[in-house]
Amino acid sequence: MIELDKKLTPQDLLPKLARFWSRSAECIEAIEKSCPPGSASPVFTVKGQYTAKGWTEWTQGFQYGSALLQFDATGDERFLKLGRERTVSIMASHLTHVGVHDHGFNNVSTYGNLWRLMGEGRVEEDPWQRRFYELAIKTSGAVQAARWARTSDGTGYIYSFNGPQSLFVDTIRSCRALALAHQLGHALMGERDERISLLGRLVEHASNTARYNVYYGEERDAYDVRGRTVHESVFNTNNGDYRCPSTQQGYSPFSTWTRGLAWAMVGFAEQVEWLSTRSDDELAAVGGRGAIEAMLLKAARATCDFYIENTPACGIPYWDTGAPGLAHLRKPLDRPADPHNEHEPVDSSAAAIAAQGLLRLGHYLVHDKGETKAGVHYVQSGLTVLDTLLDEPYLSTNSKHEGLILHSVYHRPNGWDYVPPGRKVPCGESSMWGDYHAREAALYVQRLAEGAPYYTFFGPPQTEESA
């Protein structure tokens, strides 16, 4: 279980954040040189150098989105220029990619960040640039929403790249593409000019993810543990019946792949935040504010509680809660994780993602629900996790290493992760999603520490003049 530092504040992390952003700049510049335009998207490091790995192109948005976050945090115009130029020249194919469930990863991290920065007044207002970003976001949200499969009760979900039988827990985080597109007034147009609500599809996908991919220890899940997630839910495509849990990157369908858990934590938490910006009238058409908020909060609380209770004291999880080698470690949850152990790898990228979920859920409970005690508990958990990531052995301090956050794992079952000589399990490497989400969490906490505007993917409310 995570040992909370109850006295830790966002301001306490500012010295570490300054070092983090300095190191981050070095990493972004190094990757730009080793992975220039035209080369394959960098995915994870091998011996400290970013390499590609063909599966789906889901990490390029993190590469250029990282430059935009670097500008956001430091004001260094070089990174704004880099992120903007690469988004415009390279990211277009991701907008109309019909074969993936990753639009919220690639496109909100790039076009979405540029749109947000303009809305916040961080970059100069330009009507044509704004419309360009908005058109990109609308396109991405609609294309993502079109990847739709029906369940037996008539609702549906955005299916994964595995096919229409497959509901991934990851995709809840990608739903922010639908959220932004709906926020901008867009819809998906279907046969005979049917206008399909992106908000409706977002809510249905979130509800089915919460229903099938998150366990609560009750009803259908009475045999299981509250807050556990399953990577993939499998459906019969003939009639939409739910069939079974599955996994692609975890140890088993009956253990918890911790990065999938982390995607659920942040995905549900930030959708709760976004929900608060929508009107009662628009939410009434898709179930009503009360029911939607209750569903999102139930999933967010359960997954965050499970993470806190089933993660080592330092806040960094092992890659899967059921990984068999954990049996050889002495009380692994009662002490800090050991990234150099001989039995199972940790996954720092799961921690980078989870930290933001804990922080956002806690902030919402304190400021929107008045649940101060519960909210502060989640906030302190998130700060504790980030505090660990911002220091060695997780923060990379070797200028020859292109990664920012060390000890990330990509695909343990496929054997894709690099195992150094003399070691038995992967360690010492970084991932593009881990580095990007560490930057998101760092920016989030830095803004809190400095009293800057609260950071969300959907930006500040738009006035009639700015819209």
Give the model's confidence band at 220: pLDDT under 50 very low, under 70 low, under 90 confident, else very high.
confident
| CATH (residue range 10-450) | 1.50.10.10
How far is the C-alpha of 319 from the C-alpha of 344, rounded, in Å? 8
Answer yes or no: is pLDDT of 449 > 50.
Answer: yes
Q: What is the pLDDT of residues 336-356, one digit of tens each?
A: 999 999 999 999 999 999 999
Calculate the dihedral angle through the C-alpha atoms of 30, 130, 360, 105, rounding to the nearest 10 degrees: -50
What is the structure's pLDDT at 56? 74
Answer yes or no: is pLDDT of 92 > 80.
Answer: yes
Q: What is the pLDDT of residues 45-83, one digit of tens each?
A: 999 999 998 677 899 999 999 999 999 999 999 999 999
**What is the average pLDDT across 436-457?**
98
Give the model's confidence band at 467: pLDDT under 50 very low, under 70 low, under 90 confident, else very high.
very low
How far is the C-alpha of 410 from the C-alpha of 446, rounded, in Å? 28
Break the chain into its structural domains and give their ranges: 10-450
Distances (CA, A) of 438 to 97, 227, 242, 443: 26, 23, 35, 9
Q: Which amino acid is at 105?
A: F
How far is the C-alpha of 332 from the C-alpha of 422, rounded, in Å? 22
Work out the percent of the chain whose per-residue pLDDT is above 70. 98
Indicate yes or no: pTM above 0.85: yes
**What is the average pLDDT across 109-120?**
98
Beta bridge partners of 193: none
How far is the C-alpha of 311 from the C-alpha of 308, rounded, in Å? 6
φ, ψ dihedrals at 246, nearest 5°: -150, 175
- The DSSP bridge pattern shows strands 166-168 and 156-158 to be unpaired
**What is the average pLDDT across 366-372?**
97
Distances (CA, A) of 300 to 61, 155, 295, 360: 25, 21, 9, 10
**What is the average pLDDT across 151-155?**
97
Give the model's confidence band at 462: pLDDT under 50 very low, under 70 low, under 90 confident, else very high.
low
Q: Cα 3 vs. chain centroid, distance in angstroms?
A: 23
Task: Note whether 375 and 308 are within 8 A (CB).
Answer: no
Rounded mean pLDDT of the chain? 96
Q: Which of 435, 354, 339 is nearest to 21 (CA)?
A: 435
What is the structure's pLDDT at 443? 98
Task: Note whether 316 and 384 are within 8 A (CB).
Answer: no
